[in-house]
Amino acid sequence: MTSMRRRHFLRAAGLSLTLPALESLGGAVDLEDAPNVKRLFLMTDGYGFHTPFFYPERAGLDYPSNEVLKPLEPLRKHVSILGGLQHMNGHSTQKFVATGPASSPHFGDSVDQYVARHVSSRVPINSLLLSMRKTAAGGAYRSKVPVAMISDPEDVFNFLFVKGDVKTRQANLQREQSVLDLSLEQAKDLSRNVSASDKRRLDEYFNSIRETEMIVKKGMAFLRQPDIDPGISKEELAGFHEGGAGDSYFAYLRTQMRFVELAFKFDLTRVAYLWEHGQNHGATHHGGRAKPGGTLWKHAKGTVEAIARTLTQFRNTKMAGGGTLLDETLFVWTAALGNAAGHTGNNAPAILAGGGLKHHGRYTHFDTLQKNTRLYLAIIQKMGIPAENFNNSSKPLSI
């Protein structure tokens, strides 16, 4: 088996679902004593919002709220609204909303995985990756490879709080370690008789194996820890699933967001990504009609209400350092499309909250379209991670 085939086998086998920060691979950032932001909560929406319903009438600190943004009003000093971002065009680009263009020579990680690579050395779970669609591939990427995301709330609950058959899970991890050992041995044999170019590819492969070995070891350690009581039953959290509409859909959304709150509260992870493939495709082709317009309005209003509810919980959760979970968490919601009817990524919106950012409380609409990868570079740097570029951007957005 060639080295490239072996690497694809490892990825397909799910051995690199969550990868740890390694000092030898770029340096893990110690956020334990950081004064503010320690966590990243990313949400992306495939179709986004119908922006005339979302954007305020004018920019600035005194921007007037509207019915969609009204739930965020009590949190105004902790929230920033952005407009005029730019992603790629077409529905198929939704899966790259957190990475930027796959054609870029710097394409590699989605922003959540880039951050997790650097900040997750002290927590048992490198990143909590949740999807609102089990039938579609998610938007998390690690080293150019899609990373599995969890959509079923019962599976999420069990993953976080119920270890179940520990012996079977330990046996599976030991099997994975054996596969890694064999892969490393074969790769070393190959490295003795390859070109310089192939050797560089093998070095990348060695790094992938070392990263995956770390997550296997962390998984074994996590199984040895006692179960955590989240203070809420599985039945309360796991009763909603993909496929619902209206109130059922938003109950499902709130459930997934509650898992993030609990995972952060118990310091199980420092990074979470909730990926929404996109609801209401038919309604996005509204043609100015009232009925589909009403559907889009309800989607925007319900999503913002869920965000406001979670941010309020974050604000009300006191942390050991004296601040709140909202102080310590940078929340980012953004979209793949700014105009779903036209399938274009121009004029996409974003919501930022928490993280101790100094310029919250305003609505900023950029006169010139700004790549969302510039926003991601700014996020990475706000997390205290030294980075000169992210995908196709080398200059961070001012946030």
Could you report the per-residue pLDDT of 257-301, keeping only the tens digit for each?
999 999 999 999 999 999 987 678 878 888 889 888 888 999 999
* Amino acid letter, 44: T
Could you report the per-residue pLDDT of 150-167, keeping only the tens digit for each?
999 988 998 888 866 677
Distant-in-sequence, close-in-space partners of 129: CB < 8 Å, separation ≥ 6: 17, 18, 112, 138, 140, 147, 148, 149, 150, 272, 273, 275
* Residue of higher predicted confidence among 5 and 312: 312
> How many CB atoms are closer than 10 A to CB 95?
22
C-alpha torsion angle, residues 219, 224, 225, 231 (rounded to 10): 80
| 271-276, strands of its sheet edge to edge | 128-131, 271-276, 39-45, 329-335, 346-354, 79-86, 363-371
Tokens of 395: 């200059």
Tokens of 331: 């929340």
Mean predicted confidence (pLDDT) in 299-328: 94
What does each C-alpha distance from 213 to 17, 191, 267, 364 come to in angstroms? 12, 20, 22, 44
* Amino acid letter, 149: M
Whether 2 has a pLDDT exceeding 60, the answer reads no
| Region 37-162+237-382: CATH code | 3.40.720.10
Mean predicted confidence (pLDDT) in 295-308: 95
Burial of 164 (0-12, 13-18, 19+ CB in 10 A): exposed
The pLDDT value recorded for residue 77 is: 97
Whether 21 has a pLDDT exceeding 80, the answer reads no
Q: Which of 39-43, 111-115, 164-168, 378-382 has the lowest mean pLDDT?
A: 164-168
Mean predicted confidence (pLDDT) in 162-186: 73
- CA dist 244 and 124 (Å) reads 32
Cα four-point dihedral sign 112, 117, 118, 123: positive
The pLDDT value recorded for residue 204 is: 67
Could you report the per-residue pLDDT of 205-218, keeping only the tens digit for each?
777 677 677 767 77
The pLDDT value recorded for residue 367 is: 94
- CA dist 114 and 57 (Å) reads 35
- CA dist 142 and 108 (Å) reads 6
Tokens of 294: 């009403």
The pLDDT value recorded for residue 14 is: 39
The radius of gyration computed from the CA coordinates of the chain, to the nearest angstrom, equals 21
Which single residue is written with the structure tokens 């790769």? 187
Tokens of 206: 């060695």
Shortest CA distance to 255 belongs to which of 231, 278, 227, 234?
A: 234
Whether 119 has a pLDDT exceeding 50, the answer reads yes
Shortest CA distance to 10 belongs to which of 192, 240, 209?
A: 209
Per-domain boundaries in the chain: 1-30+163-226, 37-162+237-382
Provide the mean pLDDT of the chain.
83
pTM, full prediction? 0.83
- CA dist 311 and 324 (Å) reads 11
